[in-house]
Structure 1
């Protein structure tokens, strides 16, 4: 059986750091860890890996990953050919906003979603995402990045677990890019950490794909505190 490459290529395109959705402006709280001296130039692969995987497993996967999975299902064949369960996607969107405690995290998530919409609507978004974009434009939906990406991935035939894994990988790669720009890792260390977090990424993506929408959560209190501190920092390189 021939492998379908177009969905894979679609996932690669969305995960590419050159995809213009504004993720490069985010450190996801890492800048505050650096400013507080919790992450320094002396940090090693193990230390960075622990901080990153903790955030992946207990924050991003259980919130953004779950929301993305249900937004993907809103467009999947299970809802009927050519149909879009707008209510399900909106429920995932609103719940995701509610579990993001830090204001910057909520705003960054919505800004990322609008960046995706601005890139794909009118070019290669399908009818479901185009319809959802109208909700976002009216202010009836937050338009979180994970939800928008989930709808887009479903329309591009990216399998559900692959779509969730792509979101988690994109987060990890962006987080490490921020670490390089903040001077607490070099490119080689970043690649080593990214490679070593693959098992956690896979495990978290599988778990998020099976999690019920009512069980969406985020349990990263220190990251949330650092995100809130970031709002009041005198100098900031990143928007979160």
Structure 2
């Protein structure tokens, strides 16, 4: 059995950190977004479990050039880099601008930003000494000086690249994209970017499965079967994303953007996008 503080323990803790931010109960709002899938439902293009199974496979293939590619490129950019290095900061700002420009659907773009800001806030709260500690009794923050007195000596931050991104967003240099902050968090926490990207991709499809159960509708059983059958496509999409450069992003997926735009004017909606 590994003893406390062993490399095996550290690896397990890092894996758990990634699982937590990708979990369905992590409150960033991912499950309020259908990413345009509801449009396909209302257009009678997505009506059965077989339709949904094919939709998942098509979606994850496109995701390599969208969310997964963005996440992986951000993670590779941050790996082993000083978060204050000028080259990293400039590269991150350029990636953020590119990813924002590629989100042509307003609701998807705004949803990505909301999830990004919520995640930044939540992972900050999970640090030993948050930058913006929350006093749950009063419902608002306390200043850092007060927090330092309560917590004693300052403990090192474990999410330096996420912290750097937050400063860039706060200054207006960056917009803030959930896929990018996921990549930076993986660079800070995960033992393997590939494993982290597989977990993130799974979380995207899991969220769509929840949407399909309500919107198509299909049974919970059928949804999980479809999700499991998409596992090979998840791995393939991540491996493809690991080979991409920023110039490759956005080369596929126009139909998702169009569906997301049409979603904005649907007569009735279950989801925010």
Residue by residue over 1:98-136, the C-alpha shift from the partner in whole angstroms, topping out at 9 and shown as x without a partner, is: 222211111111111112112112433622211211211
Alignment-derived partner of residue 31 in structure 2: 24
- CA distance in structure 1 between the partners assigned to 2:205 and 2:231 by the alignment: 10
CA distance in 1, matches of 2:46, 2:122: 34
Residue segments in structure 1 that go unaligned for 5+ positions in a row: none
* CA deviation after TM superposition for structure 1 residue 81, in Å: 9.3
Q: Counterpart of 1:33?
A: 40
| 1:108 counterpart (82, 106, 111) | 111
Tell me if 1:98 matches 2:101. yes
Instruction: Name the counterpart of 1:56.
Output: 60
Q: CA deviation at 1:183?
A: 4.5
Aligned to 1:47: 51
| C-alpha distance 89-82 of structure 1, shift in aligned 2 (>3 A) | closer
Residue 208 of structure 1, aligned match among 232, 241, 245: 241
CA distance in 1, matches of 2:271, 2:185: 26
Q: What is the Cα-based RMSD across aligned positions, in Å?
A: 2.1
In structure 2, relative to structure 1, the CA distance for the partners of 1:81 and 1:22 (3 Å cut) is: closer
Question: How is 1:108-147 mapped onto 2 (pairs within 5 angstroms)?
Answer: 108-124=111-127, 126-147=159-180
Does residue 6 (structure 1) correspond to residue 13 (structure 2)? The answer is: yes
Instruction: Assess, with a 3 A threshold, how the Cα gap between structure 1 residues 158 and 116 changes in structure 2: closer, same or farther.
Output: farther
Cα deviations across residues 171-190 of structure 1 (Å, max 9, x unaligned)?
A: 10001110012142111111
Q: Please list the CA deviations of residues 51-71 of structure 1 after superposition, one character each: whole Å capped at 9, or x if unmatched.
A: 12112112x221221211121
Q: Please say if residues 46 and 216 of structure 2, whose CA atoms lie closer than 8 Å, have aligned partners that are also in contact.
A: no
SS at match of 1:18: coil
In the TM superposition, what is the alpha-carbon distance from 1:164 to its structure 2 partner? 1.7
